[in-house]
Chain A
């Protein structure tokens, strides 16, 4: 079976107007603007098989959203080729749109003053669903996403989590074969994130929807996807199963602690902890940041130790930032693959599945 998404040396450049400092220079620039070429996506090549759950990740400005916009036909590439379901997205945008869907976490497709049901009704007409087909599909999605309690509540009165569930249900109404998700859990609380992730997994299992996800949240990547493609400056630096990413790169967790030190009797934040694999990376008055190698030390043991000895005002546990992950990947790549500009398409890191 051929890939459902194919990109071959897909590239996007655009010209950005320069804003020089100072009033005089700004006035001169208004009369005679200068432009600089921005490479949003360096030539990149990859393929996604039908039914895959792929995370397409990278740091800010890596070109993730731009790639999604090219694959959905919103943007024309500067060079290269792409096919989604065998169609050239920017040439066959309308036909493709009948078969794919996308969610942009920071933008809404729902009508703000109307209840979600109004958007569903509209999309049923837009995608030419028969009344019976619409009733059946809407019923399935309303039950799956548990939307019944606020189906008739104006969108402006919904919480972000409720709205996001409605957004995804709306995107799935026409049974798309490929779902592009751009930061689908941004701004959501932990419970809402978990719910969205499990719903996406279930859709993939039940309906075989191919998922192409970008996110800054390592939780989305780990819990939803089975394969990860990491892009940096538009170049693919890792293409591997999630299990490999977890085993070889996501071995650390970062614990941020805020200690309650109102009383003089309170102990100061420690410089070290008596655990193998735990390192204090930052220490400032009541704040403490620890890096825990989870292969050597269970995270709950470290937390239990800290809570037993200190009064903890706040604690967060996170994955290391994407930049750190990328630095780790670069450290493990052969030296001739580290210069993106000279390499054109950087060979991804070879990893065992």
Chain B
């Protein structure tokens, strides 16, 4: 800063501006007010998503097709392996395999394209309206992401469950494992959000983040265990894939949901917490740098 303006002292604890007297200068509210604010963004975003009913229906149709194709492929694979009825591959019966795929596909198909939205907001300058509000950009994005993702995931999961029941019938599920899977899934969604937010924020440096998004999406699909559980990957690829954070987004929660006991939860949670801490720190730094760097796009 090259010049110093005579300071106009602002009494931050007072509700009024010391000069004009009638100004309702306020600090942004506390945790409760923030909850109401982000809750309202979540609710509005959820309502907005309902406008895309056609898109939601298409996703459902796509899920039904994928599960049907995978069922046929896995049936042929199980028969070729000569496992017979009740036989397993990588510890999965064919029924468990289809249930795994229903869960994994629901996780993948519910992923919002927030990197591209951030990219567009930065390029068009629409980000200006977000920055004019008394909320943080990351919080605003998280509220919108959760609304979109939870709605889509709920629909995909309901449909996936119905299809799995229709195609292969029920599989034994353990309530403690399901509860553990829910915890792992919550962390997985948060980790995925942080990664996508970080990629989106790169729009402040690169012209277009589409290629980075594409690369990340493919890594999540391939190494995350979307098409097949990591247990049937050949070694050493399976070990490498398990060690990478992508498996914590899809394979981890889906595998846990089908386990007989939740004993896999502790190591998975540990890895998720470490991944969240590292990604969170990186995104925090990126966020600070991006918003300091921001300059006018589109005048």
Task: Decide if A and B are genuine partners.
Answer: yes
Given A86-B18, A87-B10, A125-B40: A76 in contact with B294 (beta carbons within 8 A): yes
Are B299 and A65 within 8 A (Cβ)? yes
Given A79-B1, A81-B5: A4 in contact with B20 (beta carbons within 8 A): yes
Are B1 and A126 within 8 A (Cβ)? no
Binds A, one of B43-51, B214-222, B247-255: B43-51
Are A107 and B296 within 8 A (Cβ)? no
Are B295 and A14 within 8 A (Cβ)? yes
**CB 8 Å contact bits of B66-95 with A (1 = contact, 0 = none):** 000000000000000000000000000000
Decide if A114 is an interface residue (CB 8 Å cutoff). yes
**CB 8 Å contact bits of A126-167 with B (1 = contact, 0 = none):** 111000000000000000000000000010000000000000
Decide if A109 is an interface residue (CB 8 Å cutoff). yes
Are B20 and A1 within 8 A (Cβ)? yes
Find residues 1-25 in chain B having any chain A CB closer than 8 Å to their own CB.
1-5, 8-10, 12, 17-20, 23-25
In the bound complex, residues from chain A placing their C-beta under 8 Å from that of B1 are: 79-81
Are B41 and A113 within 8 A (Cβ)? no
Given A118-B47, A121-B44: A99 in contact with B296 (beta carbons within 8 A): no
**Minimum distance in angstroms from A125 CB to a CB of chain B:** 3
Decide if B61 is an interface residue (CB 8 Å cutoff). no
In the bound complex, residues from chain A placing their C-beta under 8 Å from that of B294 are: 74-76
A6 to B5, CA, bound (A): 9
Find residues 1-53 in chain A having any chain B CB closer than 8 Å to their own CB.
1-2, 4, 6, 8-9, 11-12, 14, 40, 43, 50
Chain A contact-residue range equals 35 or more
**Minimum distance in angstroms from B265 CB to a CB of chain A:** 36
**Minimum distance in angstroms from A47 CB to a CB of chain B:** 10
Which of B17, B39, B40 contacts A121 (CB under 8 A)? B40
Which of B9, B24, B124, B132 contacts A97 (CB under 8 A)? B132
In the bound complex, residues from chain B placing their C-beta under 8 Å from that of A122 are: 40-41, 44
Decide if B172 is an interface residue (CB 8 Å cutoff). no
Are A126 and B5 within 8 A (Cβ)? no
Which of B18, B28, B47 contacts A94 (CB under 8 A)? B28
Decide if B29 is an interface residue (CB 8 Å cutoff). yes
Are B3 and A8 within 8 A (Cβ)? yes
Are A73 and B51 within 8 A (Cβ)? no
In the bound complex, residues from chain A placing their C-beta under 8 Å from that of B10 are: 86-87, 92
**Minimum distance in angstroms from B65 CB to a CB of chain A:** 27
A14 to B297, CA, bound (A): 11
Decide if B240 is an interface residue (CB 8 Å cutoff). no
A97 to B44, CA, bound (A): 20
A72 to B125, CA, bound (A): 14
**Minimum distance in angstroms from A239 CB to a CB of chain B:** 18
Which chain A residue has the least Cβ–Cβ distance from B121?
A107
**Chain B residues touching A, majority SS:** loop
Are A94 and B134 within 8 A (Cβ)? yes
Are A98 and B134 within 8 A (Cβ)? yes
In the bound complex, residues from chain A placing their C-beta under 8 Å from that of B133 are: 97, 126
Given A113-B51, A125-B36: A118 in contact with B17 (beta carbons within 8 A): no
Which chain A residue has the least Cβ–Cβ distance from B44?
A122
In the bound complex, residues from chain A placing their C-beta under 8 Å from that of B132 are: 72-74, 97, 100-102
Are A75 and B28 within 8 A (Cβ)? no
In the bound complex, residues from chain B placing their C-beta under 8 Å from that of A99 are: 23-25
Are A79 and B128 within 8 A (Cβ)? no
Which of B19, B36, B40, B131 contacts A74 (CB under 8 A)? B131
Which chain A residue has the least Cβ–Cβ distance from B21?
A1
In the bound complex, residues from chain B placing their C-beta under 8 Å from that of A85 are: 17, 20, 23, 25
In the bound complex, residues from chain A placing their C-beta under 8 Å from that of B19 are: 1-2, 86
**Minimum distance in angstroms from A17 CB to a CB of chain B:** 8
Decide if A95 is an interface residue (CB 8 Å cutoff). yes
Which chain A residue has the least Cβ–Cβ distance from B4?
A81
Which chain B residue has the least Cβ–Cβ distance from A104?
B128
Find residues 86-120 in chain A having any chain B CB closer than 8 Å to their own CB.
86-87, 92-95, 97-102, 104, 106-109, 111, 113-114, 118-119
In the bound complex, residues from chain B placing their C-beta under 8 Å from that of A94 are: 28, 134-136
Are A93 and B131 within 8 A (Cβ)? yes
A175 to B33, CA, bound (A): 19
**Minimum distance in angstroms from B113 CB to a CB of chain A:** 16
A2 to B296, CA, bound (A): 29
Are A111 and B48 within 8 A (Cβ)? yes
Decide if A83 is an interface residue (CB 8 Å cutoff). yes
Decide if A193 is an interface residue (CB 8 Å cutoff). no
Decide if B26 is an interface residue (CB 8 Å cutoff). yes
Are B2 and A80 within 8 A (Cβ)? yes
Decide if A66 is an interface residue (CB 8 Å cutoff). yes
Are B129 and A95 within 8 A (Cβ)? no
Decide if A333 is an interface residue (CB 8 Å cutoff). no
In the bound complex, residues from chain B placing their C-beta under 8 Å from that of A75 are: 294-296
Which of A65, A101, A108 contacts B296 (CB under 8 A)? A65
Most buried by B among A2, A75, A83, A126: A126
Which chain A residue has the least Cβ–Cβ distance from B41?
A122
**CB 8 Å contact bits of A258-273 with B (1 = contact, 0 = none):** 0000000000000000
Which chain A residue has the least Cβ–Cβ distance from B292?
A76
Are A126 and B292 within 8 A (Cβ)? no
In the bound complex, residues from chain A placing their C-beta under 8 Å from that of B20 are: 1, 4, 50, 85, 177
Are A95 and B5 within 8 A (Cβ)? no
Decide if B117 is an interface residue (CB 8 Å cutoff). no
A61 to B18, CA, bound (A): 37
Decide if A233 is an interface residue (CB 8 Å cutoff). no
With A79-B3, A126-B41 given, can you name 5 additional A-B contacts, CB distance below 8 Å?
A69-B296, A81-B5, A83-B5, A86-B17, A154-B51
Q: Which 10 A-B pairs have the closest CB atoms?
A: A125-B40, A113-B51, A81-B5, A14-B295, A86-B8, A65-B299, A9-B3, A79-B2, A109-B129, A122-B44
Please, could you name 14 A-B residue pairs with CB atoms under 8 Å apart, sorted by A? A4-B20, A8-B5, A69-B128, A79-B1, A80-B1, A83-B8, A85-B23, A86-B9, A94-B134, A100-B132, A107-B125, A113-B51, A125-B36, A126-B40
